[in-house]
Structure 1
Amino acid sequence: MTEQPSYEPESLRIAAVDLGSNSFHMMIAEEFQGEIRTLEKRGEKVQLAAGLDNQNYLSEDAIQRGVDCLAQFGQRLQGMNPDRVVVFATNALRAARNRRAFIDRAEEVLGYPVEVIAGREEARLIYLGVAHTQADDGGQRLVVDIGGGSTEFIIGERFEAKALESLHMGCVSYTKRYFPDGKITAKQFRQAVSAAKQELLNIKAHYRHLGWQSEIGSSGTIRAVEQAIVSNGWGTDGITPEALKSVVDHCLLYDTVDDVDIEGVKPDRRQVFVGGLAILVAVFETLDLKHMRYSDGALREGALWDLVGRSGHEDVRTRTIASMQERFYVDTAQAERVEQTALALFQQIRGDIHARAELAQWLRWAARVHEIGLSIAHSGFHKHGAYLLQHSDMLGFTRQGQMLLAILVRNHRRKIHPEELELLPTRQQGIALWLIRILRLATVLNHSREAYDVPLPEVSIAQDTLCLALPEGWLDNFPLTAQDLEEEADLQKSAGLKVEFR
């Protein structure tokens, strides 16, 4: 079996890279006695969202700005264990129709996979980062994070989020949309505030019904507003409606976004400050906020805590899979049988297919939910299951992760569709095909649903041929399973794959 790489203590540190719509950030830390100790932080204003055209294609200039920034980050991340590094992309790449072009180039210079996360998953990670910076004093808190292309709203208590939402409004997109020529007028500012209020109507009633006892803001816009308030003497502790009005009145004194020169607002923030400010005004007025404090914790800090949870006592993705099993009435006993067989087969050939050990968890999760489509209809249930996995809100999973699960479930029975692998990153395609083949065999071997004991076959690989050896005479005694295996061999052959039984 091929040995997996070992890493020096230096590379056992953890890192999170946040590819935001306005800024890219990198944070490197280490776990120390149950806490995260920050070792290094880097950030750069890339303004990726500013490079989106009307058809949501990223410009070459925007792509190059991002790649140049990540080339620098990649130098610092070299040698770190890939299992201890996460790279998350948010709204700009969620929206970009040519994101694959960016991701391929980004992964080449960075050296690690780039994962696109859904808005609610972004909100969950933001809350996790904020919660770890706050006193554990109970009571529900509202967290608001104004990013470059989206704004996240979370209500939670302690470390548990109770409501998650991501709205399509951000400091870059709103500055671009409502101040397109760079000029600042009171009328344009009111239009931006009004548009943000319209977006907020989607969550207003639900969030006010849940209620909260404290209000916390995170990320660049809210930090800049609070610093402006303190630096100019408009307040001393956090953001209030009165202090916010002072910031607005001062901002409207300038003719263009390039002229904005407010003490406390850094130069690289000024060009998008007015758009973010309009959103914050709308948030205060719509949700009737009285006092907001700023928190240093945000997406990257939450990503690090989530990474610690994965390697420790809790991986939220496993909880999500369990929730889906319950929601769609999965036969968990059958799922466990398929899971155990699939994992046993995987371990026998892992070295031959050069698969990292962590891929076993994707096989495990796929086995646990491979029958969720049965809750919709038996006919084509593998297709129904794939649809659910691709389009559901699955906390902890990235868009690419959900796509991988969907493809495994979609192809676990009937015809194999190798062309669907092209929807995955190039680095995953070859391994994903092996996982599909293993999951299919595990499903066939457990077709009886424990009507009789099924021995674990010995499995090996000869080039691309998958060879299974069962106890002598066993298939003669169980002709239905023998027939199922023959049909499976034919299906794999139709996809250009070869399976042999002996």
Structure 2
Amino acid sequence: MLDIKKYAAIDIGSNAIRLLISTVTDVEGRPPVFKKTSLVRVPIRLGSDVFVNNAISERNIQRMIDSMKAYQLLMDTHQVKAYKACATSAMREADNGLAVAERIKEETGISIEIIDGDSEAAIIAATDLNDLIDSKKSYLYVDVGGGSTEFTIYSHGETITSRSFKLGTVRLLNDLVSPETWIELEQWIKANTKSLEGIDLIGSGGNINNIFKSSGKAMGKPLSYFYLSSYYQLLTSLTYEERIVQLNLNQDRADVIVPAAKIYLSAMKWSKARKIYVPKIGLSDGIIKTLYNQDKAALST
């Protein structure tokens, strides 16, 4: 029997808002196949409002409402079975975050769940990450966002520990990360990885995806510490305008990619990892998988 359904995930981050629509194909006796059908990204950059002024501006509230109306139309057109919208660091810290979520619900019909760092890490863990890693090895998973970065340590197929740090690309661009935060992160990584031999990184987020694409590496192959370090040196040697022209970066990517690369490099240095894998999974993928699992569980009861 063949069963095909579409699910949607809305990820409201500190740098951008994304809609991912995935088609899930179930064939009896086989594992489900997840295929990304549509991905729309709007760089609203809520973090620039919230991390500086503690609230989302009226201009960006209206941009969010317009985006959600468009997303609702796309989901209706695709005949999406179920969706989930999650907001992370920026809306979580905004004084008017809950009020904005209520306004969006009233004007667009889309319900937004504001989640904490632990919930974000748990949703990401719902992806097929375990299918991508070697159960005999150890990994430090690093998901860099605009407002925060989630770190999870896996060893021999088990989750050892995880933590969210207020260390994101938009915060760094606005000089809102204290030296103490960097020191705390360094100590946490070193303390939790010192006993793990041959650890590798797993990188998640739009910036590392962009860096991986520029490398020309085949999917599944890792980037070396040397490559990432060399690319970071190239990024910092160019101006914002030169990154757009010479590296063909979008204007909303050309600035945040620099602090993102610094976070990944720092994590590699402190964990003594020499390679970073980039499987192109994140919060949106975790939401899709969660929706699918909930749907299957409901059908079986």
2: distance between equivalents of 1:26 and 1:61?
A: 20
1: distance between equivalents of 2:16 and 2:259?
A: 15
Among candidates 230, 243, 255, match of residue 271 of structure 1: 255
Deviation at 1:19, TM superposition (A): 0.8
Highest relative contact order (Cα 8 Å, sep 6+), 1 or 2?
A: 2
Contact in 2 for aligned 1:127/1:161 (Cα 8 Å):
no
Alignment match, 1:47: 45
User: 2:216 aligned with 1:216, yes or no?
Assistant: no
2: distance between equivalents of 1:116 and 1:166?
A: 15
User: 2:14 aligned with 1:17, yes or no?
Assistant: no
2: distance between equivalents of 1:264 and 1:94?
A: 33
Structure with a larger share of its residues in strand: 2
Contact in 1 for aligned 2:199/2:272 (Cα 8 Å):
no
Contact in 2 for aligned 1:197/1:283 (Cα 8 Å):
no
2: distance between equivalents of 1:226 and 1:79?
A: 32
Deviation at 1:31, TM superposition (A): 2.9
Deviation at 1:44, TM superposition (A): 1.9
User: 2:192 aligned with 1:207, yes or no?
Assistant: yes
Contact in 2 for aligned 1:215/1:292 (Cα 8 Å):
yes
User: 2:144 aligned with 1:161, yes or no?
Assistant: no
Alignment match, 2:29: none
When residues 195 and 129 of structure 1 are mapped into structure 2, their CA distance, relative to the original with a 3 A threshold, is farther
Deviation at 1:36, TM superposition (A): 2.3
2: distance between equivalents of 1:159 and 1:16?
A: 27
When residues 160 and 172 of structure 1 are mapped into structure 2, their CA distance, relative to the original with a 3 A threshold, is same
Q: For each residue in 1:81-121, what CA deviation from the matched residue of structure 2 results, as whole angstroms up to 9, or x when unmatched?
A: 99821111111111111102321232234423100111011
SS at match of 1:154: strand
The CA RMSD measured in Å over matched residues stands at 3.2
SS at match of 1:217: strand
Alignment match, 1:260: 243
Alignment match, 1:181: none
User: 2:276 aligned with 1:292, yes or no?
Assistant: yes
Range with bigger deviation, 279-288 or 143-152: 279-288
The count of corresponding residues between Structure 1 and Structure 2 is 287
When residues 41 and 298 of structure 1 are mapped into structure 2, their CA distance, relative to the original with a 3 A threshold, is same
Alignment match, 1:249: 233
2: distance between equivalents of 1:229 and 1:104?
A: 43
2: distance between equivalents of 1:312 and 1:110?
A: 28
Deviation at 1:312, TM superposition (A): 2.6
When residues 227 and 210 of structure 1 are mapped into structure 2, their CA distance, relative to the original with a 3 A threshold, is same
Structure with a larger share of its residues in helix: 1
Deviation at 1:56, TM superposition (A): 1.4
User: 2:127 aligned with 1:129, yes or no?
Assistant: yes
User: 2:169 aligned with 1:171, yes or no?
Assistant: yes
Contact in 1 for aligned 2:51/2:90 (Cα 8 Å):
no
2: distance between equivalents of 1:103 and 1:159?
A: 37
Amino acid in structure 2 at the alignment position of 1:27: L
Alignment match, 1:239: 223
Unaligned runs of 5+ in 1: 1-8, 179-191, 315-502
Alignment match, 1:442: none
Deviation at 1:75, TM superposition (A): 0.9
Alignment match, 1:227: 213
When residues 160 and 284 of structure 1 are mapped into structure 2, their CA distance, relative to the original with a 3 A threshold, is closer
1: distance between equivalents of 2:144 and 2:39?
A: 20
Deviation at 1:145, TM superposition (A): 0.8
Q: Percent identity of the aligned residues?
A: 22
When residues 56 and 132 of structure 1 are mapped into structure 2, their CA distance, relative to the original with a 3 A threshold, is same
Alignment match, 1:35: 33
Contact in 2 for aligned 1:228/1:264 (Cα 8 Å):
no
2: distance between equivalents of 1:254 and 1:81?
A: 44
Contact in 1 for aligned 2:135/2:157 (Cα 8 Å):
no
1: distance between equivalents of 2:223 and 2:178?
A: 17
When residues 267 and 55 of structure 1 are mapped into structure 2, their CA distance, relative to the original with a 3 A threshold, is closer
Alignment of 1:346-495 (within 5 A): none
Among candidates 19, 31, 45, match of residue 26 of structure 1: 19
User: 2:111 aligned with 1:113, yes or no?
Assistant: yes
Amino acid in structure 1 at the alignment position of 2:233: D
Amino acid in structure 1 at the alignment position of 2:280: D
1: distance between equivalents of 2:79 and 2:162?
A: 31
Alignment match, 1:6: none
2: distance between equivalents of 1:110 and 1:161?
A: 38
2: distance between equivalents of 1:130 and 1:20?
A: 22
2: distance between equivalents of 1:166 and 1:242?
A: 26
1: distance between equivalents of 2:164 and 2:91?
A: 15
Alignment of 1:309-328 (within 5 A): 309-313=293-297
2: distance between equivalents of 1:96 and 1:118?
A: 13
Taking structure 2 as the reference length, the TM-score comes to 0.82
Amino acid in structure 2 at the alignment position of 1:168: K
Amino acid in structure 1 at the alignment position of 2:243: V
